[in-house]
Amino acid sequence: MNGNDKINGKCLAVLLLLFTGMIAVLNWAAPDRAFSEAENRMLKQLPHFSRHTLLSGDFTSDFEAYLSDQFVFRDLWIGAKTDMDRMLGKKESNGVYLGKDGYLIQKFVPPSEGDVEAKMDAIHAFDAATPGLRKYVMIVPTAAAVLQAKLPKYADTGVEEAYLDRIRRSLSPGIHFVDVFPALYAKREQPIFYKTDHHWTTQGAYTAYLELCKQMGLNPQKDEDFIVRQATNEFYGSLYSKSGFRHVQPDSIELYRPKDQEKYTVMYVDEGKTSHSLYAPEQLEKKDKYAVFLNGNHGLIRIETAQTNGKKLLVVKDSYANSFIPFLLKHFSEIDVVDLRYYEGDLTAFVNEHGIREMLLLYNASTFSEDPSIQYLSE
């Protein structure tokens, strides 16, 4: 090695040390963040140290997650990495595919062994405990199943459809499975799923609503019965946050408002709050703009409508139902909305106490597969 090579090597070593030192100082000086707007999630905080957590290995794993979450300029590094991956032709990041036409599509993860059986057991136990309750199950296929043509060629396909078919075949004959896959697939060239978020759009929810009306014998509201208003065109959703793919166009969120709007009352039971709207426009100023529907997720919401037919509906759901429920107000005098992830009551007793005769269980396939709270039905 000649003199110039030695000098260059020393300069590079000094620059590397300076850079590493600067990052270490910034990491030490920067205050911990509680929430990441870009990733739309809570960040790991400094774990509690004890002899027990150290010996069990919990402290080590939690501290590693803490360092990762609180690393200075984290959002910048994530964006730079995905930009580089994209330049190299990689079209998957953190379980999210970069599909055609700017679609970000979440990969469907099959459930663990015995998961379907456990959830079917819970549903059937609840069915046995509430014999007077007519039940409808709508497990909504995600964009990974409906928009397969937009997936990268190497992406796994067919797994989610097999999962949905298994659920349908496992349900007892007395429980009505509402198959919305054909209707959504027929509309696949229309914007029925957001491009940057895992939810369906309001148009996708309306498409499924028409199928539910067929099953329940309801007279559906027509397209011309609504005024469609764009609430925002700057929505970057959950998949944008999760994947790190940054150079994509934002989505718009549309609200379907009936032309002959009737008065109704929305009661957020756990919070003790009341509203006269299904929408929370203040959420449009935040990162998770999908929370404009029903003001996000809550354990129990009771909606009293202007209908006088005395019909009551229980909706057990995930967030897919939040943009779906507004279409139901014309058909029921009372709608009780339960999210088992946050609800702590006895649902069987609740049904009997309130004289509810119809129930809709509405989940998207991914949440139904991954979320264990459905098993709380039978508890």
**How does pLDDT run across 19-42, given as a tens digit for each residue?**
566 655 655 566 766 655 554 455
Instruction: Report the alpha-carbon distance of residue 18 to residue 352 in Å, rounded.
Output: 69
- Confidence tier at 157 by pLDDT (50, 70, 90): confident
Phi, psi angles (nearest 5°) of residue 322: -60, -35
Q: Give the largest Cα separation in the chain, rounded.
A: 93
Instruction: Report the alpha-carbon distance of residue 69 to residue 74 in Å, rounded.
Output: 7
Give the pLDDT of residue 375.
87
Picking from 27-31, 60-64, 163-167, 189-193, which range would have the lowest pLDDT averaged per residue? 27-31
Instruction: Report the alpha-carbon distance of residue 136 to residue 369 in Å, rounded.
Output: 18
Global pTM value: 0.82
Judge contact between 322 and 100, C-beta under 8 A.
no
Mean pLDDT of 250-264: 94
Chain center to CA of 197: 8
**Mean pLDDT computed over every residue of the chain:** 87
Judge contact between 99 and 144, C-beta under 8 A.
no
Instruction: Report the alpha-carbon distance of residue 180 to residue 182 in Å, rounded.
Output: 6
- Confidence tier at 130 by pLDDT (50, 70, 90): very high
Helices (H) and strands (E) in the chain, counts: 12, 15
Give the pLDDT of residue 106.
96
First vs last Cα of the chain: how many Å apart? 74
Cα 361 to Cα 163, 196, 241, 288, 377, distances in angstroms: 17, 25, 28, 24, 11
Give the pLDDT of residue 150.
96
Give the pLDDT of residue 116.
92
Per residue in 234-250, pLDDT (tens digit) is 999 999 988 888 889 99
